[in-house]
Amino acid sequence: MRQILEAIQSGASGEEIGALPLPESYRGALVRRDEVGMFEGLDSSEKDPRKSLHVEDVPLPELAPDEAYVAVMASSINFNTVWTSIFEPLPTFGFLDRLGKESVWGARHALPYHVVGSDGAGVVLKVGSSVRNWKPGDKVVLHCNYVDDQDPSSHDDSMLAANQRIWGFETNFGGLADLTVVKANQLMPKPAHLTWEEAAVNALCNSTSYRMLVSHNGAGMKQGDSVLIWGASGGLGGYACQYVLNGGGTPVGVVSSPEKAALLNELGVEAVIDRKAAGYRFWSDEHTQDEGEWRRLGKDIRGLIGEDPQIVFEHPGRQTMGASVFVCARGGTIVTCAATSGFMIEYDNRHLWMKLKSIKSSHFANYREAWDANKLLAHGKIQPVLSAVHRLDDVGEAAYQVHHNLHEGKIGVLCLAPEEGLGIDDPEFRAKVGEDKITLFRRHGA
Ligand code: NAP
């Protein structure tokens, strides 16, 4: 891998990079099949990714004709790596075993270890025989929609494909590693004005927020819409705020500290609610929700923007869904992609049907959506929300930070990149976009 890194850093040509020998093994962050029971009997919050995530050398898998090897310069922590590392709601080895039964190439994935990670920025090292649009030396970012394009169900919206998977979560050989194996249709051009770590943190959360708000597959946001955004300074929320601002809407950001509120103000979000300071108790006990508290949130939103939100950007799940359905405007949409605080959801259906509201489900993004979201980054219209950077050896601590909500935006992970700040190919465009805008979250996280 050292030779590969030196070639990348010295600006070697695509031919030179393509001629380099591939390593027999590479460093990856993984969980082990024989450890899936290690946290039995513990509460979620006690399950510690620092104990279950290991950084080890693993053998290089063979390359399928529609795949590419990519040298990963940087990656990021997503919540799915937290789920994998605490073996909740299920150990991910079941996903790998199912993929293993699908085809000869799928069988490579069913291993005693799972290399995790669903984001990455790096350089193509080699492409399979059927890859047309990419070649060694291309600087790329990786999106995580892993689709079998021989399946007819993948040919309308590929997120509807019967065997759609998330790379590095439902497949092996993920991005938290020095090298990864991806399908060619996961590759997108790296925005030239960003560093490796700035480029690496976006694809999963940025594309998800794009589909939820901007794509015709999502909530159908239009100019003038007000949007309540839970976790507005988090991974998904940091991009959601930017999409609402760019789209001529009014974001109402919910956060849990004055520091996060200040960060949102600097991003341009004027209406911010600190949920901790407000002390909402949507659940009075484990089984009972308090409509009075939903009403109090609704009043607070009206106090800030003078109306109910047409769209609610949902992902906390059980703790907030009752309130989200209640505060959403008549005829509005609650768009949801997750349930961090619990997936068995309760809301009062009368507030949904009597006021003609809709709940719209969303999950990651198809290639076209991921590509369009990446284009906005490349054009400087959406900024990365990188707030902290860890080394691959420290991946357990990075996942721990996300597990315990100790971060803002996204945590980047340096894989092959020896230090922060490398990989900028277009400094003039970076200056035009503005260093302050690009590094807003990083300055707050520092
Ligand atoms: P994140 O960076 O941890 O941000 C989530 C934010 O939600 C936190 O910063 C926190 O903000 C807020 N939050 C957490 N628990 C809450 C609660 N009980 N009530 C209200 N707010 C709460 O995570 P993320 O990357 O944005 O991901 C969020 C969720 O979406 C995760 O479950 C993840 O797995 C899922 N996800 C799904 C997809 C998909 O394609 N389906 C894609 C990406 C992520 P404050 O404390 O500041 O309020």
Mean per-residue pLDDT, 175-198: 98
CB atoms within 10 A of CB 345: 17
Mean per-residue pLDDT, 84-100: 97
Residue located nearest, by CA, to atom 8 of ligand 1: 231
Query: Does residue 144 line the site of ligand 1, with CB under 6 A?
Result: no
- Give distance in angstroms: CA of 332 to centre of ligand 1: 22
Residue 21 has a pLDDT of 96
Answer whether 2-205+365-445 and 219-361 agree in fold. Answer: no
Residue range 219-361 in CATH 3.40.50.720: yes
- Give distance in angstroms: CA of 206 to centre of ligand 1: 13
Query: Does residue 263 line the site of ligand 1, with CB under 6 A?
Result: no
CA distance 192 to 213: 26
Widest pairwise Cα distance in the chain = 67
CA distance 347 to 323: 8
**Does the pLDDT at position 445 exceed 90?**
no
- Give distance in angstroms: CA of 234 to centre of ligand 1: 6
Nearest in space to 409 (alpha carbons), one of 172, 209, 128? 209
Mean per-residue pLDDT, 136-154: 95
Please work out, in degrees rounded to the nearest 5, the angle formed at the alpha carbon of residue 125 by the alpha carbons of 183 and 387: 75
| Percent of the chain predicted with pLDDT > 90 | 98
- Give distance in angstroms: CA of 338 to centre of ligand 1: 8
Query: pLDDT band for position 446 (50/70/90)?
Result: low
Query: Does residue 44 line the site of ligand 1, with CB under 6 A?
Result: no
- Give distance in angstroms: CA of 134 to centre of ligand 1: 34
Could you report the per-residue pLDDT of 193-244, keeping only the tens digit for each?
999 999 999 999 999 999 999 999 999 999 999 999 999 999 999 999 999 9
Residue range 2-205+365-445 in CATH 3.90.180.10: yes
Could you report the per-residue pLDDT of 407-425, keeping only the tens digit for each?
999 999 999 999 999 999 9
Residue 239 has a pLDDT of 98
Atom number of ligand 1 nearest to Cα 402: 3
Q: Could you tell me the pTM of the whole model?
A: 0.97
Residue located nearest, by CA, to atom 12 of ligand 1: 231
Residue 190 has a pLDDT of 98
Nearest in space to 419 (alpha carbons), one of 379, 389, 375, 384? 389
Atom number of ligand 1 nearest to Cα 166: 40
Q: Which of 264-268, 317-321, 332-336, 340-344 has the lowest mean pLDDT?
A: 340-344
Domain ranges of the chain: 2-205+365-445, 219-361
